Structure 1
Amino acid sequence: MDPVKRSLYSLHFTVMLLGGTALFSQVIPLSAYDITVGRAIFGCIFLFCLVKLTGETWSLNSTKDYFIGTVLGVIMTLHWVTYFAAMQYAGVSVGIIALFTFPVITVFLEPLIDKVKLAWQDVISVIVVFMGIILIVPEVSLENDITLGVLVGVLSAFLYALRNIAHRQYFSQYSGIKGMYFQTLIISLCSIWFASDAFWSMDTHTLGLLVLLGTLFTAVPHAMVAACLRHLRAKTFSLVACMQPFYGVVLAIIVLNETPRWQTLIGGILVISAAIYETIHTQKQATTTPE
């Protein structure tokens, strides 16, 4: 098979695995925080092995990089906790759609950091996303779990966008596997001290689910992304990544028997359409901007 086609198929499988992480918020009988602890620990162990297998050293280049990596790890800790919390409050379908407001949030954050002017097309994207969120939210009340889940999901999206921007600017000199390994190490070190009694007394079934989440659904996809990018353009990866909510919703329907409301589906289409547009628009700007 042509390596480009093989990489494309692998990328879709990778994105499906990443979309499947949301399912664990419902099937693991632990809090969002404890799930984050387990995911980080087992993901870190697996990624450390991958780093050694690829011949890389586990150490970073400078004290400054250790500081930056630690900050990124703390942001990722908060992102993962709010990610699983959003799913537990609102369900997988709503939570994962709320998370994918991050491409549009990124559009608003980047001008503040890069000091560039915000385009009018980006404002329209934000309006479209806002309309999608309005459709998803059943009522404006924090006493409603779905509304609370949407707000927590958008907060998670903000943290994810912030982490991605900071990673690209200050930590991109490291491979994806090594960068993610160090961040999961920080997440583990930050969070393990505050794990609940339920985490330490979990049964073997719950332990197995956490191992599965940390390895097959976390470490493996990040390794596969690095491999796929050898044959695919970054634009292709970004566009396929926008399929994650679709895969997540489909898996939630099949595995968890979720039945999303029609408002959720339409709102999701609006949010994902804006995400796809911003992905294409950003890539066009990158290719037309002189070095």
Structure 2
Amino acid sequence: MPNVKLQNYFHLHFIVFIWGFTAILGELITIEALPLVWYRMLTATIFIFIYIKLMKIPLQVSKQDFYLLSFAGAVIALHWITFFGAIKASNVSITLSILSSGAFFTSLLEPLFYKRKIIWYEVLFGLIVIGGLYIIFKVEGEYVTGIILAIISAFLSAVFSLINGKLAKRHNPSRISFYELGCGVGLITIYLLITSVLGKTDLGFTKAFFILSASDWMYLMILSIICTAYAFIASVKVMKFLSPYTVMLTINLEPVYGIFLAFLIFGDAEQMSVQFYYGAAIILATVLLNGIFKNAKKLKRAPFKSNYTN
């Protein structure tokens, strides 16, 4: 079991590295956040559906779980819309840095979701991560819109992680991903149809909405197949072995990976100061300390005992 846990932990880091590349694609794709998320979720849903049919995975879920999956789909859609919106309003570095505050939101929300007491070091680690973020990047006032969108995105990512922590116990990861992405794109489609009927051509389905450049299509395919369909299913799977807080805290490495990739691809436009490396070291140390604390104390939380190995 320890080997299985370690394998899933390293797998999670690989997934987070892929997510770090998602921000790069968000910068490279020229369309706005809303249509970007619509294309991403629609294409990923199609690929996951094909995979489900090939693997003959049953799609039946209870009515109660369908409602929960639909809600999770709405949450992840809003998370991605605010995430890419933050990138468009600021840049990759600011968005990814602030996104790591999701660990702090998780430390506050997890006791409510799983009806357990707040563990002091989880809150402490969340606060340390925020301190690391402050060191990484001191945001200027001109990026206030991007900052607000990134904070909302971080909160939504925490909520989504906690919902999936419950669903991962009862359902196949592919089934969860199909319903969540499918419901998410369905809700966005309804919104776009309504705005089209109301005559808001800048928000609804228009001819321009469906005209994309060749490079946008290429980046969208990478975003949909690798960064969404694969990473989405894999991330739900690892949650069978890792607690939501551990998952969310590990996701805090996304800015480290993403900003590093942004520097390699975009050059000086994303160059970080020495303070970034201090902040990155703090985040990495926090992730490692979290694992040490959990293994040393062998915490056995009732909500996780049948699936999680922490």
Residue 42 of structure 2 corresponds to which residue in structure 1? 41
Residue 163 of structure 1 corresponds to which residue in structure 2? 160
Q: Which runs of 5+ in 2 are unaligned?
A: 193-202, 306-310
CA contact (8 A) 1:101 1:275 kept: no
Determine helix, strand or coil for the equivalent of 2:128. helix
Q: Which amino acid aligns with 2:210?
A: W
1:82, CA displacement in angstroms?
1.1
Change (3 A) 1:30 1:53: same
Residue 260 of structure 1 corresponds to which residue in structure 2? 272
Q: TM-score, normalization: structure 2?
A: 0.77
- Give the whole-Å Cα distance in 1 for the aligned partners of 2:102 and 2:261: 21
Q: Which runs of 5+ in 1 are unaligned?
A: none
Q: TM-score, normalization: structure 1?
A: 0.81
Q: How does 1:1-291 map to 2 (within 5 A)?
A: 12-60=13-61, 62-135=62-135, 136-139=137-140, 141=141, 144-145=142-143, 147-170=144-167, 172-193=169-190, 194=192, 196=204, 197=206, 198-224=208-234, 234=242, 238=247, 241-257=251-267, 258-278=270-290, 281=293, 287-289=299-301, 291=305
Deviates more, 1:49-58 or 1:260-269: 260-269
CA RMSD of aligned residues (A): 3.2
Deviates more, 1:275-284 or 1:244-253: 275-284
1:211, CA displacement in angstroms?
2.0
- Give the whole-Å Cα distance in 2 for the aligned partners of 1:280 and 1:92: 31
CA contact (8 A) 1:103 1:278 kept: no
Q: Which amino acid aligns with 1:103?
A: A
Deviates more, 1:194-203 or 1:106-115: 194-203
Change (3 A) 1:268 1:35: farther
Change (3 A) 1:161 1:137: same
Superimposed CA distance per residue, residues 192-216 of structure 1 (whole angstroms, 9 cap, x where no aligned partner) = 3426544322233322321221112
1:98, CA displacement in angstroms?
1.6
